[in-house]
Amino acid sequence: MKRLFVTLVLALSAMMAAAGCSNNHASAAPLPTLIPSATPAIDMVSAQRAATLYLDAWERDDFAAMYQMITFAAQEATPQADFVSLYEDIHALMTLTGLETHQRAMLREGNQYVVLNYDVDFDLDVLDDFSDTGRELHLVIDPRINEWRVAWTVGDIFREMNNGATINFISNQPSRANIYDRDG
């Protein structure tokens, strides 16, 4: 058995040596490759401009202008009437009298994706004013028009809404105590 194994190993070694020393190399046909195309440079100025237009429209309650700045995929998922109604209803429920956005930083993530970090100060009529910090606005190059658009979701109103949260205003008026005549 050992002898058979040694014979096979020697025969295999001889064949490999003979194949390696042969001058008859078959010419290898070159494999077809794609011509590399240039990676489009991210125009951060255009992305910043798109984000600013969107946030400025929100500050002015111009929901139609905001809708024009979201991706076509988001527009197909949410009709304009629903988009506008959603913002109007939430603003009314919050008794919003105004808001102010503050852009903090813009981060490039890949070749066609940018995230804007920003804060929003909400001015309310009935409730106390508040700030929502550390918000993210996601921008992508929409392939249909090759321009920057907001990759909008309902979480762009408040991030918790992406997980199914809703906005409710529940008025809790304290019960009135008994009023007694001072004379008794």
pLDDT in tens, 163-181: 777 777 777 777 776 777 7
In a domain, 24, yes or no: no
In a domain, 18, yes or no: no
Q: Residue type for 87, please?
A: Y
In a domain, 83, yes or no: yes
d(CA 135, CA 47): 17
Q: What share of the chain is helix, strand, coil (3-state, %, to 5)?
A: 40, 25, 40
Whole-number pLDDT of residue 152: 95
**Residue of 116, 144, 143, 127 lying closest to 58 (CA atoms):** 116
Between the two ends of the chain, the Cα-to-Cα distance in Å is: 120
Whole-number pLDDT of residue 98: 93
What is the domain extent for residue 67?
A: 44-163
Which tens digits make up the pLDDT trace of 135-173?
Answer: 999 999 998 889 999 999 998 988 888 777 777 777 777
Does residue 76 register a pLDDT over 90? yes
In a domain, 168, yes or no: no
Does residue 101 register a pLDDT over 50? yes
Q: Residue range 50-64: average pLDDT?
A: 97
CATH number of residue 71's parent domain: 3.10.450.100
Task: Give the up-direction half-sphere exposure of residue 71: CA atoms within 13 A in the CB hemisphere.
Answer: 19
In a domain, 153, yes or no: yes
In a domain, 21, yes or no: no
**Band of the pLDDT at 82, cuts 50, 70, 90?**
very high
In a domain, 170, yes or no: no
The number of folded domains in the chain is 1
Does residue 126 register a pLDDT over 90? no
In a domain, 112, yes or no: yes
Which tens digits make up the pLDDT trace of 13-41?
Answer: 656 665 555 555 555 666 566 555 454 55
**Average pLDDT across the chain, whole number:** 82
